[in-house]
Each structure stands twice: as structure tokens, then as C-alpha cells.
Structure 1
Amino acid sequence: MVQKFKENWQISRNWQLIFPLLGLIGLGYSSFKLATLIFNNQITITLVIAAVIFYILLKLTLIIFEKLEKKWAVNYRWELISIFLVFATTGSSSMFVSRPLIKMMGINKENLPTFAYWVLYIVIGFIFYQILLVLIGWIFGQYKFFWDFEKKMLRRFGFKCFAD
């Protein structure tokens, strides 16, 4: 069973199993959190709902993997999991990093109009997202993918200095 799993995800070394394991743990955690939003008080029903959500999200994720495997140039299927983990980690990390910076700059809802505060919050978060995307991609062994992804995104925003 493990050998078939390794073959399906093109895993050649045991350390690569960390990516499917982290993916399943993240998917399980997300499923449980969604289930607690629906049935917070009853643990048995919550666990059953979490299992159903887990199954649905797993099937959806595998469909997305099939489509993205063709679109993104990856050498191995397990790299898709690594890429998804980078996107997930970067999204929450950028807000985690930018929140204290915004406070240090003295930006808050009391001294700015609400619209201006949220625009600045999103812009600063977006800047840190771009930096962290490449950094966390490097940590997960996907530097080339995310640097190319970053250059493509910056070109779309009109930064012609990243043209190949």
C-alpha cells in the first residue's frame, strides 16, 4: 500500500513523504475547523461532519492537482503538495508579519478613515506576501517555481524590468 502511494505521487525518497503527510494534516485540520463552525457543541456529529468535509475536500484537491499538474511545470506530483503548502503558509504569514509593522507605523482605525486603513493594510500585506512567497518557497525547495511565478505576477502589474 505504501509502495503504491509512493509510485502514485512519484516519491523516490522517504523524506518526500513529509509533503503528503503535511497536506493531509492541513486538510484534516481545515475540515475539523469547518465542522466546528456548523456543530460546535456535539463532538460526535462534529467528527462525522469533519470526516465528510475531509473526503469532499480531498476529492476536490485531487481534481485540482490533475489540472494544475498539466499547467505548472513540476517534475514530480508531490511537488504540487509542496507548492500548495507554500501558498497556504505565505497567506497567513504575510498578515502575521504586516500586522505588527502597521502598529509600529502608528496606523490604526482611530487615526485613519476605515477605507484608508484597510487599503494600507492590504497593500502592506501584499508586499510582504510577495517577499514571503519566494522565501517560504525556497524553504520548501520550490524557489525556482516561485521566483518564476513572482516575475510573471510583477510583469502583469506592469513592472517591465522582469521581462525575460
Structure 2
Amino acid sequence: MDKLKERWDIDSNWSIIAIFIVFAINGSFAAWVAKPITEFLGLSPEVISVWIYWPLRILLIFPIYQLTLPIVGWLFGQFKFFWTFEKKFLSRLGLGFLFKENN
């Protein structure tokens, strides 16, 4: 726990527990939200091959997860951590320009 607190610049064990809870809830939430979206788009394993359906569903879950992570983090009082996490993660994907301030 101490290594995580140091690495993530966190002061309390409650913060680590809250962060783990947020990751778990948000993963389930993103998967739950993706189902009606895929149905709305007319995508289902009965209509298209499961070899196409599941990669498309996973590709849909990814942006939902990224968008909702700071929101769910905020609900648990961890917005600062998750906003920093998102900026770092998206920068590693080459989307860091989204967070650069105009000079």
C-alpha cells in the first residue's frame, strides 16, 4: 500500500480503496452502457458474426470508460487523481494535444 501511495501521490489508505472501487464500478458501468448502444446501432451476435461483434463492443466500451472514469472518480472524491490519470493515459496514446494549453 505504501508503494502505491507514494507512486500515486496519495496520503491515505481510504484514497487507495476509493480508487480501486472507482476502477471496478466504472468498468462494469462502461460495459453496461455499451450494451444498449450496440443494440441501438443494430449490432448483436445474432445479426453479425461474434468475431466482429465483440471487437466492436470492446472498441465502444473503451471511450465510454475513458469518459466516465473522471465522473465516477468525482463521485468518490477522487476527481483530481482520475483527471491526472486520464491526461497521462491519453497522452501516451498520442492524444496529449487535447490537454495542452494554448500559449
Name the amino acid aligned to 2:85.
F
More helix by share: 1
Q: So what's the TM-score if we normalise by structure 2?
A: 0.88
Is 1:132 paired with 2:95?
no
Query: Which residue number in structure 2 is paired with residue 120 of structure 1?
Result: 56
Name the amino acid aligned to 1:99.
K
Query: Which residue number in structure 2 is paired with residue 56 of structure 1?
Result: none
Match of 2:33 among 97, 120, 131: 97
Aligned-pair CA distance for 1:67? 2.4
Q: d(CA) in 1 for partners of 2:32 and 2:93?
A: 24
Q: So what's the TM-score if we normalise by structure 1?
A: 0.57
Equivalenced residues, count: 100
Greater C-alpha radius of gyration? 1
Query: Which residue number in structure 2 is paired with residue 83 of structure 1?
Result: 19
Query: Which residue number in structure 2 is paired with residue 159 of structure 1?
Result: 95
Is 1:147 paired with 2:83?
yes
> Gapped runs of 5+ residues in structure 1?
1-64
Q: Assess if the C-alpha contact under 8 Å between 1:155 and 1:163 holds in 2.
A: no
After superposition, what is the alpha-carbon deviation per residue over 1:80-134, rounded to whole angstroms, capped at 9, x for unaligned?
1111110111111110111111111101123323222111100111111111111
Aligned-pair CA distance for 1:77? 2.3
> Gapped runs of 5+ residues in structure 2?
none
The higher-RCO structure (CA 8 Å, 6+ apart) is 2
Q: d(CA) in 2 for partners of 1:110 and 1:81?
A: 40
Identity score, percent: 41
Equivalence map 1:40-51=2 (5 Å): none
Query: Which residue number in structure 2 is paired with residue 41 of structure 1?
Result: none
Q: Secondary structure at the match of 1:98?
A: helix
Query: Which residue number in structure 2 is paired with residue 10 of structure 1?
Result: none
Q: d(CA) in 2 for partners of 1:160 and 1:146?
A: 15
Match of 1:110 among 41, 46, 53: 46
